[in-house]
Every structure is written in C-alpha cells, then in structure tokens.
Amino acid sequence: MRKTRDLVGLPVVDLEQAQHVGEVRDILFSPDGSMHSLLIERAGLMSPSKIIRAENLHAIGEDAITIRTRDEIEDFRDETGIIRSLLGGDVRYVGKDVLTEDGMLLGRVEDVYVDRELHTIVGYEISEGFLVDLREGRKVLTATPDIMLGADAVLVPEGTELTEDL
C-alpha cells in the first residue's frame, strides 16, 4: 500500500534519453477508483496540462518515476468530466469532509491509499482534527464500492467506522 501524496513532486524521467521530462503535480483517478494517470508539470512550458497514463508508467520508485519514452506524455482532456483528482480540480479527494448518509461527520480526507501496483484505491487517510490527530493519529477509511465522492463531500453508508490501519 502506498500514499498517493508521496508521489506529488517526484520527477519523471524518460529512459530513452535519460532526461527529466517533468514533475508529478496530481494523481488522476477513474470513477471506479483505478488510477487513470499522473498529471505532470513541465518546467518553463506554458502549455496544456500533460498526463502520463497509468499503463505507460515504467516504474514508480521512492525518488523518481520513469517512463520508456517522452512520446508517452499526452495532452490532458476530460471531455466527460468523470476524472477525479487527488488534490485539484472540481472533483478531488483531499480536503473533502467525510459524512455518513445519516449526517455524521467522520473527518476530512488527507490522503488516498492505493495498492502497491498503484492500480486501485484501497483506503483514505482521515483527519479528525489537529488535536485528535496529535493524540490518537489519523484514521483510515477502507475503500468500498458504496463510497461516493461528490463536489462537496465524500458520502459513506450509515454505520461506517474508521479504523487504525488497513
């Protein structure tokens, strides 16, 4: 399991030319919770947002992400409006309140956990507030199909409880 926020800021290196081609700015997800792509920022370029699709990633290391060739970088277009992001955009995870369907606030999403291969969301790191985080640590919400990400909140079924870890 890996925290997706740890990927933000990592350099992206093209293996064909051994060249730095950008830096990860955000992680994009499909509605089913699978990783869609990495949104990258290219230094000094005033151009449309660029992405690298998940299937085009060669490796994701602790210090860098590698791709086979810079040809795998493409313009980002979300004509359907269904792509969700970790940090930015209209439909994002981080910073959203987590509410049960019966109106109980569980906390706020601070990070998203994905499986080791970065294929699917497996959980969410939840803050219950600064003081509670200091005293007890952050909690985890295990990902299930009935969790709904909306424009203003993440809705979970009644009776959902946070855990210490996945």
Q: How many domains, the chain? A: 2
Q: Is residue 68 part of a domain?
A: yes
The range of the structural domain enclosing residue 40 comes to 2-85
Predicted structure pTM score: 0.86
Same domain, 81 and 105: no
pLDDT attached to residue 100:
96
pLDDT attached to residue 110:
96
Q: Is residue 165 part of a domain?
A: no
- How many Å apart are CA 155 and CA 146, to the nearest integer? 8
Domain at 78, CATH number? 2.30.30.240
In 4-150, at which residue ranges do the beta strands (DSSP E only) sit? Answer: 11-14, 19-29, 35-41, 50-53, 57-60, 65-67, 73-75, 84-85, 97-100, 105-114, 121-127, 139-142, 148-149
pLDDT attached to residue 47:
66
pLDDT along the chain (166 residues), means of 10: 92 94 92 90 70 92 94 82 81 93 95 85 94 90 92 92 88
Q: Is residue 91 part of a domain?
A: no
Q: Is residue 110 part of a domain?
A: yes
